[in-house]
């Protein structure tokens, strides 16, 4: 066998092992448990699992899908996650040969695991843990740096990873902002977050359109400092920020300012930067509150409105894949979600599925076939 074939087989076996650890993350992260201690145990009887109980896929099959000690059923999701990870890792190694791509192949495997774990948790709890997405953005930027150092083609370098992360977060949060504004019939939010929240994101959108991404993000964060100094929320009307952005884009299309395309890019990147700053702040703030007070349900501090896990997941995808494949992932996610919605209406199903799993599906399509699809689209347009 050739070295590339051996690496594909090795990647598949590695995926099975990582899939087993992914099941640990899927179970423990939503519960706030340590992912390393205590060692693996049955969630029903708490009996510590032996080596023979931890062989990916085969242990579940040999035990008939039941715990060896208490005979309680073990979800079929466990071997499914392991198999999917093994297949996914092998496919990545085949399409992105590690001997050629180097660190880039490992980065894509990390992304695949983040997507699978995030989707499984989202299906269970309708949330995507910040412990998964925020470090995931940092890892995407790190692998972008390594790609740039190694001269890897087809994957983003450091600048591309940062741009992809900001635009990923910015696109999804902008959709959220305008969608929420319309659903509220253009009324203001009743309880803006302190000191940083959706108001600062909207301000970043407007400022970024005229000043560019970094100055736009700076204006949004300056508003946060104003709130801190005033010890209260200084309201910024959405009619001014979101409405102003719409007017700005129309002016850009008419030839004023930097131009419509640059204005949209600046607005989205600035909003993405402020969104990630929001995510980090509220994550750390909630963790500190939970550790200090032992709180488990405090909407004032947890600020569930600031959770927007899909925004941070889009930033992860953009950081690892770049902005072009990110846009492809969004298109696939929207179409998949629409098809699922039609099926639900036809079958009168009441099962609710959030956007995260569809976004992850779109990212996998963009990861595995994005190069060919984007290349074909450019050829069709003569680019």
**In contact, 326 and 314? CB cutoff 8 Å:** yes
Q: Give the CA distances from residue 315 to residues 206, 287, 347, in Å, rounded to whole numbers and listed in that order.
A: 20, 21, 34
Whole-model pTM: value is: 0.93
Q: Return d(Cα 276, Cα 166) in angstroms, integer.
A: 8
Entry field: residues in the chain: 383
Q: Is residue 297's pLDDT more than 80?
A: no
**In contact, 331 and 362? CB cutoff 8 Å:** yes
In the three-class reduction of DSSP (H, G, I as helix; E, B as strand; rest coil), residue 350 is classed as coil
Quote the pLDDT of residue 287.
76
**Straight-line distance from the first to the last Cα atom of the chain, in angstroms, rounded to the nearest whole number:** 39
**DSSP secondary structure, 40-62, as one string:** SB-TTT-PBP-GGG-STTHHHHH
Quote the pLDDT of residue 40.
87
Quote the pLDDT of residue 222.
97
Give residues with Cβ within 8 angstroms of 119, minimum separation 6.
356, 357, 360, 361
Q: Model confidence over 182-238: pLDDT tens digits?
A: 999 999 988 888 999 999 999 999 999 999 999 999 999 999 999 999 999 999 999
Q: Return d(Cα 371, Cα 155) in angstroms, integer.
A: 10
- Taking the alpha carbons of 18, 21, 27, 29 in that order, is the dihedral positive or negative? negative
Q: Model confidence over 2-61: pLDDT tens digits?
A: 888 999 999 999 999 999 999 999 999 998 888 888 888 888 888 888 888 889 999 999
**To the nearest whole percent, how much of the chain has pLDDT over 90?**
72
Which residue stretches of the chain are H helix? 3-28, 58-62, 77-95, 98-101, 103-125, 130-150, 158-183, 198-211, 213-230, 238-253, 260-293, 299-302, 309-321, 323-347, 355-381
């Amino acid at each position: 066998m050739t070295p590339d074939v051996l690496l594909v087989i090795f990647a598949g076996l590695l995926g099975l092992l990582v899939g087993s650890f992914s099941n640990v993350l899927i179970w423990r992260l939503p519960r706030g448990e340590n992912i390393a201690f205590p060692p693996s145990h049955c969630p029903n009887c708490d009996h510590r699992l032996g080596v023979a109980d931890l062989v990916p896929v085969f242990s579940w099959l040999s035990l008939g899908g039941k715990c060896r000690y208490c005979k309680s059923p073990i979800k079929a999701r466990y071997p499914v996650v392991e198999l999917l990870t093994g297949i996914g890792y092998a496919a990545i190694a085949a399409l992105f040969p590690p001997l050629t791509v180097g660190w880039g192949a490992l980065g894509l495997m990390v992304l695949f695991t983040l997507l699978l774990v995030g989707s499984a948790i989202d299906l269970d709890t309708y949330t995507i843990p910040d412990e998964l997405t925020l470090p995931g953005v940092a890892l995407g930027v790190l692998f972008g740096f390594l790609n740039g150092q190694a001269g890897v083609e087809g994957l983003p370098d450091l600048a591309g990873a940062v741009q992809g992360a900001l635009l990923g977060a910015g696109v999804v949060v902008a959709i959220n902002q305008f969608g929420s504004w319309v659903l509220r019939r253009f009324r203001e939010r009743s309880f803006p977050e302190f000191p940083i929240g959706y108001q600062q994101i909207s301000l970043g959108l407007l400022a970024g359109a005229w000043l560019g991404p970094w100055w736009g993000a700076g204006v949004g964060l300056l508003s946060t400092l104003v709130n801190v100094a005033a010890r209260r929320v200084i309201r910024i009307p959405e009619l001014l920020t979101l409405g102003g952005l719409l007017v700005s884009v129309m002016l850009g299309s008419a030839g004023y300012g930097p131009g419509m395309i640059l204005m949209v890019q600046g607005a989205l990147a600035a909003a993405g930067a402020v969104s990630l700053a929001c995510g980090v702040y509220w994550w750390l703030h909630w963790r500190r509150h939970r550790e200090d007070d032992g709180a488990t349900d405090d909407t004032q501090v947890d600020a569930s409105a600031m959770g927007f896990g899909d925004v941070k997941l889009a930033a992860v995808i953009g950081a690892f894949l770049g902005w072009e494949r990110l846009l492809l992932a969004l298109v696939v996610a929207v179409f998949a979600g629409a098809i699922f919605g039609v099926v639900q209406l036809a079958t009168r199903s009441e099962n609710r599925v959030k956007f995260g799993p569809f976004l992850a599906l779109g990212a996998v399509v963009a990861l595995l076939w994005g190069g060919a699809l984007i290349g074909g689209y450019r050829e069709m347009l003569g680019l």
